[in-house]
Structure 1
Amino acid sequence: MEDHSQFRLLSERRFAPFFVTQFAGAFNDNLFKNALLLLVTYNAGGLFGLSSDVVVNLAAMLFILPFFLFSAVAGQIADRYEKSGIIRWVKLAEVAIMAVAAVGLWFGWHEMLLLLLFLMGVQSAFFGPVKYAILPQTLDNSELVGGNALVEMGTFVAILLGTLVAGVMMKAPLPGPMIAIAVLVVAGLGLLSALKIPKAEAAAPDLKINFSPLKETWKLMAIAKENHNVLLSVVAISWFWFLGAAYLTQFPGFAKDELLGDETVVTVLLAIFTVGIAVGSMVCERMSGHKVELGIVPIGSLGLSLFGIDLYLHMPAQPVPSDWWMIFTDGSYRRVALDLLGIGVSGGLFIVPLYAFVQQETPPETRARVIAALNVFNALFMVASALLGMLMLGVIGLSIPEFFLVLSIMNLLVAAFVYQQVPEFALRFVIWMMSHTIYRVKHHDLERIPEEGPVLLVCNHVSYMDAPVIAGAVKRPIRFVMDHHIFSTPVLGTFFRMAKTIPIGPKAKVPEIYESAFERIDEELAAGNVVCIFPEGRLTSDGDVAAFKSGVELILQRRPVPVVPLALRGLWGSFFSHCGGPALTHLPTRFWSRIHLLADHPVSPEAASAEVLEAKVKSLRGPHP
């Protein structure tokens, strides 16, 4: 699986029809919405006696209002019924809405189009929960990040294309009829592709649906709060939409007033930002190693702030009237473009692992309702983003670059709060950075580790970096058992406490720590988790594998579980090993070293004696430490 790109999913029926369906829906939403806004702004001169500015904001509110009103019901329906059937009904509704919209566009009935924009919002609100809840049912865990990356990439490319096509069609001789035909054709294509989506059975078929929006929306929040880490991830995703909405809303004014650009500059900035998000989403698959990797999230959040601050610091000192070509040819304008691209890439790195984490960590029977809660949070944060923009730009009087700077600083504060509340983000970031910068880790046969259920890992103990290297390579979270003395080390002690490492020591010297360790190991295995021990009991002093102690047998007597032997090769001689003297005391001389982590076939608990496991680890490691 690790040797295949996520793009192969686009050729498989379990994913390709769904991808086309969601792409067509996002394209149509934005084609119709932007066409309507352009018609109102340039042709209609306002509706209902209102100015075009008021109508534009009214249209934005009408599209987002259904997410508040109907997300709760949509989440219940997505959990209660078979998901491919729900998607087909939603797409059929889209065809009906677009058929009426086509008539309105053809004859210029713009007032009616506002009502249809609200109905498109309703349709999107019902599609949202099933869109993300279906992925864990059709994809393996190793494909979840790649599938989400494709969905996010497709969504933002569809948003961009829909916006661009709306602008192009508005310049045609008969824009209304052209757009009418386009939205109807795309809706029909979405329905046809939906008919090919394989079945995804109901996760909670006995769920009783309640149609009280306010009451059920409150229940959604309670469901999301059941897992603190999931709730914080939901808030983090919504914060991304807060930032994204703020940037996208200000692009026209930013291009016109700060860059003195024409309409083509707005289009180019939007394209650069959107392409950046798509690229960042796709890069996640490679960076995550085909698993849900929270260590990438801090990289994304840091990039959002750093590129935002750099954008503020490198605005053109004396802007001149510009078009799209100057964005690429003038150095100061090109710096702006690169910063926007960096913000987009960082956004993709930030959001994709979070979506995959929410899907993976949420029970199947409540997954769609948690996604519905996420949609409510997204809508709230986007409204808050618009209000903050009005306050900062209209009342306080900040310039748009100053507003972007405020957003960048706010992002650092939000990130610090989230990572303080959920240390696993920071922990995974440290592990990811270590395993991808200090070392080049080559994995061998790690798929032999069971994907679920309790399992005990045993490995040779070469350096203080053994645990981070293993944690960064194995797809499942691991509880490590390590010598209690390491917890007194200032930096490493804090790190291993964050990792929920289990301290252990000699029974004769620290009996309470010894007994507590075996109790915690048993609890973790009973909960179906992965535990890793280093049966040598200490770091090797000569590079060889020392005799395995009997603690592994005591663990298996209490809780018989499969044992997977691991072997580390190439860490001997590093700064963190005892080669040439005590670890951490000599100057580091090796960087970007290639190391290997190898796994053997699982050993049954009945056959897993200390001697057998020691022999297997030695055989795996080979003659070179």
Structure 2
Amino acid sequence: MSHPNQFSLLSQRRFAPFFWTQFLGAFNDNLFKTALMVILTYDALSWTTLSPSLVTNLIPGLFILPYVLFSATAGQFADKYEKAGLARFVKWMELAIMLAAGAGWMTHTLWLLVAAVVGMGVHSTLFGPVKYAYLPQQLSPEELIGGNGVIEMGTFVGILLGEILGAVLVLHQPYGIALVAGATVLTALLGLAASYRIPLTPAPAPELKISRNPLAESIRNIAFSRKNKVVFLAMLGNSWFWFYGALILAQFPVYAKDYLHGDHSVFVLLLTVFSLGVGSGSLLCERLSGRKVEIGLVPFGSIGLSLFGLDLYFASLGYHNTAAVDFAGLLAQHASWRILFDVLMIGLFGGFFIVPLFALIQTRCDPQHISRTIAGMNILNALFMVAAAGVAIVLLGQGFTIPQLFLVTAVLNALVALYIFSLVPEFLMRFLAWLLIHTVHRVKCIDAERIPAEGAAVLVCNHVSYVDAIVIGAASPRPIRFVMDHRIFKLPLLGWIFRTARAIPIAPAKEDPWLMEKAYVDIAQALHEGDLVCIFPEGRLTSTGELNEFKGGIAKIVARSQVPVIPMALRGLWGHLLSRGAENVFERTFRTGWRSRLALAVGQPVAPQDATPERLREQVLALRGGWK
């Protein structure tokens, strides 16, 4: 079945006005901040006696300080009040702040500009929970990953264009400051106009009482989110990305000036390449994820962040030019292409990392609490970004170079990733499944949307190979508890994978009656908790490629739990290296070839009273057809 492209959302009122509202907000934030940082880097003596490296780390820290102080209150507002009206209120606030900043620019008043930085931080703090809580209310589940990708792309393109325009305008003599002041006010007006087209989006918790104690509410928000381990660790992963990005991006002005010996156009080039990377990675997520929330991309993104962060350090050491250059002169340096490639790849893999995390949080947290969950994440983001500014200031003060700062960040990223993935093995499991179906196999999913996105159900499927569970798990929008032969758990790699995925071991009654009965108890408990459980009713791998008889265990499971049964059929795995057949291993390896074609067909749900082994076998056989 064909699906509309994610960009089709930009032609729809439920998405487009909101997209342009947030795009213009991100654009204006960065136009203003970048103009201020550039003027304080390249014309510092006219404004302040502070060192440029201190100022370029201090300004981002001041911008995100309101996230720490007011995110909890902002989350309450977004849950209590209608979101379109709230967006318009925030845009009026932005206009007032930019008018005040305009006065600061024209009178050369630095404290007023710094106050405006904090004011824009408050503006972004209030809009943050609205931004990500709005999407699940207006988009269907299969649109969510694409919608998030477009939003992230828009955010980083807005950041990019704002940074470019801010850096270019402020140094335009003699009218640069006036141009920046006018551009920020005009952008605020355009954002306000776009906000009046956002459709009505009802509040999920209008009866909510706003807490007057932001600190206590912040603690409550984070404590509530910690109850859902996967969501909370996704929030931490999201915050880590902002630590990583803030630490690296804050170094770009001085890195461009002192290490690459470039003018402000080199700084703009670095921002452009990074932002294009993040935008491209965000948009690619929909294609790579198959229009579902695919958290297997998160480890993939994390690997890229560390690898290319490390290489950026080594690439920086290989840059030996000492002559002053503009962006064209930088591109003429052979060593610069490796640096730019690393920056692009950091952005690209950052997109792979961040978009699935946003979608995971949106789909797995309590709908009544989504804005406050996003607010809690924003608090963590702010704390991590403040920490990034602090770490950069301390390390630079201890004599670290900026390339060494890149190295430290890449190593820290690897350690943090290992920690998070050890606590929530689902990330790693989904990565292995995603890797399998995008390298060794080409998997086509037929009617995969019939796998329920929520609620308990039993999935039944033919059993063709040792990787059946991984292929099925990759097609599912949510985790599956697989019922597996206990002997598989003794295999070196597969055993670890299935234990990590909380698979349920089972044994024949004549071999281990206690383990068999325990398996049925565990299955009933999993279904009671609303999980998906997948069983292979044949009880063993096929040795001929044909379906064996379905055992009576499925009837016992359904009789006890009374949940729907979803028949499924794998096509094309027979003859795989890890299937069971008469040919020897080498014949099977070369017969299927590299990138072999597979399909997973999903049937209509069967009511519990109709889910007999015979009927289910007939349905699985019909779904499989003649393609084994």
Q: Considering the TM-score relative to the shorter chain, is it more than 0.5?
A: yes
**2:545 is matched with which residue?**
543
SS across alignment from 2:413: helix
Aligned mates of 1:417, 1:601 — CA distance in 2: 40
Aligned mates of 2:462, 2:57 — CA distance in 1: 63
Q: Contact 2:40/2:47 (CA < 8 Å) preserved in 1?
A: yes
Q: Contact 1:2/1:289 (CA < 8 Å) preserved in 2?
A: no
**1:208 is matched with which residue?**
209
Name whichever of 56-65 and 325-334 sits farther off: 56-65
Aligned mates of 1:607, 1:282 — CA distance in 2: 43
Query: How many pairs does the alignment contain?
Result: 624
Cα-to-partner distance string for 1:79-117 (whole Å, 9 max, x where unaligned): 222222211111121122223333444454444333232
SS across alignment from 2:610: coil
SS across alignment from 1:314: helix
- With over 3 angstroms needed to count, the CA separation of the structure-2 counterparts of 1:204 and 1:445, relative to structure 1, is same
Q: CA deviation at 1:302?
A: 0.6
**1:100 is matched with which residue?**
100
- With over 3 angstroms needed to count, the CA separation of the structure-2 counterparts of 1:56 and 1:272, relative to structure 1, is closer
Aligned mates of 1:512, 1:46 — CA distance in 2: 81
Is 1:614 the counterpart of 2:617? The answer is yes
SS across alignment from 1:597: strand
Alignment of 1:248-263 (within 5 A): 248-263=249-264
**2:333 is matched with which residue?**
330
Q: CA deviation at 1:392?
A: 2.0
**1:532 is matched with which residue?**
534
Aligned mates of 1:122, 1:370 — CA distance in 2: 18
- With over 3 angstroms needed to count, the CA separation of the structure-2 counterparts of 1:585 and 1:468, relative to structure 1, is farther
Aligned mates of 1:284, 1:358 — CA distance in 2: 16
**1:354 is matched with which residue?**
357
**1:444 is matched with which residue?**
446
SS across alignment from 1:381: helix
Aligned mates of 1:169, 1:390 — CA distance in 2: 28
Q: CA deviation at 1:26?
A: 0.7
Q: Contact 1:105/1:177 (CA < 8 Å) preserved in 2?
A: yes
**2:24 is matched with which residue?**
24
**2:291 is matched with which residue?**
290
What amino acid is the match of 2:132? Answer: Y
Aligned mates of 1:28, 1:324 — CA distance in 2: 24
TM-score, length basis structure 2: 0.94
SS across alignment from 2:85: helix
- With over 3 angstroms needed to count, the CA separation of the structure-2 counterparts of 1:210 and 1:317, relative to structure 1, is closer
SS across alignment from 1:442: strand
What amino acid is the match of 2:362? Answer: Q
**1:433 is matched with which residue?**
435
What amino acid is the match of 1:142? Answer: E
Aligned mates of 1:328, 1:41 — CA distance in 2: 22
Q: CA deviation at 1:303?
A: 0.5
Q: Contact 2:40/2:48 (CA < 8 Å) preserved in 1?
A: no
SS across alignment from 2:555: helix
- With over 3 angstroms needed to count, the CA separation of the structure-2 counterparts of 1:333 and 1:41, relative to structure 1, is closer
Name whichever of 401-410 and 254-263 sits farther off: 254-263
**2:572 is matched with which residue?**
570
Q: Contact 1:154/1:278 (CA < 8 Å) preserved in 2?
A: yes
Cα-to-partner distance string for 1:45-95 (whole Å, 9 max, x where unaligned): 466887777666654443222112211111111122222221111112112
**2:240 is matched with which residue?**
239
Unaligned runs of 5+ residues in structure 2 are none
- With over 3 angstroms needed to count, the CA separation of the structure-2 counterparts of 1:586 and 1:441, relative to structure 1, is closer
Aligned mates of 2:49, 2:234 — CA distance in 1: 43
Is 1:389 the counterpart of 2:392? The answer is yes
Q: Contact 2:76/2:371 (CA < 8 Å) preserved in 1?
A: yes
Aligned mates of 2:191, 2:115 — CA distance in 1: 22
What amino acid is the match of 1:261? Answer: G
Instruction: Supply the RMSD in Å over aligned alpha carbons.
Output: 2.2
Unaligned runs of 5+ residues in structure 1 are none
Is 1:166 the counterpart of 2:169? The answer is no
Q: CA deviation at 1:217?
A: 1.9
Aligned mates of 2:378, 2:112 — CA distance in 1: 26
Aligned mates of 1:174, 1:459 — CA distance in 2: 70
Alignment of 1:224-235 (within 5 A): 224-235=225-236
Q: 1:464 aligned to 443, 463, 466, which one?
A: 466
Aligned mates of 1:41, 1:327 — CA distance in 2: 19
> Among the aligned pairs, what percent are the same residue?
49
**1:479 is matched with which residue?**
481
Is 1:399 the counterpart of 2:401? The answer is yes
Cα-to-partner distance string for 1:238-258 (whole Å, 9 max, x where unaligned): 111111111111112222332
- With over 3 angstroms needed to count, the CA separation of the structure-2 counterparts of 1:585 and 1:526, relative to structure 1, is farther
**1:553 is matched with which residue?**
555
- With over 3 angstroms needed to count, the CA separation of the structure-2 counterparts of 1:547 and 1:52, relative to structure 1, is closer
What amino acid is the match of 2:274? Answer: F
Aligned mates of 1:295, 1:50 — CA distance in 2: 45
TM-score, length basis structure 1: 0.95
**1:276 is matched with which residue?**
277
Name whichever of 167-176 and 107-116 sits farther off: 107-116
Is 1:222 the counterpart of 2:232? The answer is no
Q: CA deviation at 1:554?
A: 1.3
**1:199 is matched with which residue?**
200
Is 1:127 the counterpart of 2:130? The answer is no
Q: Contact 1:577/1:583 (CA < 8 Å) preserved in 2?
A: no
Q: CA deviation at 1:290?
A: 1.0
- With over 3 angstroms needed to count, the CA separation of the structure-2 counterparts of 1:46 and 1:372, relative to structure 1, is farther
What amino acid is the match of 2:137? Answer: Q
